[in-house]
Amino acid sequence: MGKDRFGVPSSRGSLLKPSSETHGAARRAAGIARKNLYGRGSPRALRPRERALLKELLPTLSVPGPLEAGALDPFSLFPSSVRSVSLEIGFGAGERFLEAARARPQTGFIGCEFYRKGIARTLSAFAAAPMANIRLYEGAGEEILDSLRDASLSEIAVLFPDPWPKRRHRRRRFSQAASLRSAARALADGGLLWIATDSPIFSAWTLMQAERVGSLFWTAARAEDWRRSPYPGVQTRYGRKAARGGRGVTHLLFRRAARADFL
């Protein structure tokens, strides 16, 4: 089996080998409105290798488009050995995302990110140790959530999203009630939504918004439950930064209620 210029076996991309035109269609996300993204989507100049990874390797791992509301079966993106699918929104440089995928080969992992420097770093790490259970989406988390079929995910992780602490920016926060409802729709019964933050403002806002979503239940029974990660292991860059700064991290874990309970 041959390898491409990044050392990835050439047949690895055959499961999802969209053309540049198809990849562009995915970026336009026909049928789903593109969300206005705030932040560092276009960072300082990328290195030549990073540009090459984004141009050549990213399309082989990307969720194919065009995206349509509620139409995407995530299991169709992975080998038949995959038994469950996890979505991580805002995977940063991919440290935790790739480690989780490596530890759980029977779970398909979809990573969503719009920070191109982080995507490039994730691709570089992936090229050094390829896996069959990774797919990526460059864009907003709300877009990929809206595209997924009902009850198709076992878990969703949203780790250290921008807290937008100023009141006038609160509508930019990920954890709007509408986004949480979309997450609940995509989760299978009993599925988990994990939101980690070092911002007390964001955690309080998230709990307030979650109360408006009747199908998500906060699992914490005592303070220790939200002080420790439900998935200990490799931390994200922001998790390490919070630890160095002495800021406590809040781990909000919500469970999706059984749909039969609402009939």
**Catalytic residue list:** 162
One-character DSSP codes across 74-108: GGGGS-TT--EEEEEE--TTSHHHHHHHHH-TTEE
d(CA 83, CA 62): 20
Distance from the Cα of residue 195 to its chain's centroid: 11
d(CA 236, CA 195): 13
Question: Could you give the count of Cα atoms lying within 13 Å of 138 in the half-sphere of its Cβ?
Answer: 25
Strands (E) located in the chain:
84-89, 107-113, 134-138, 153-159, 187-197, 216-218, 250-256
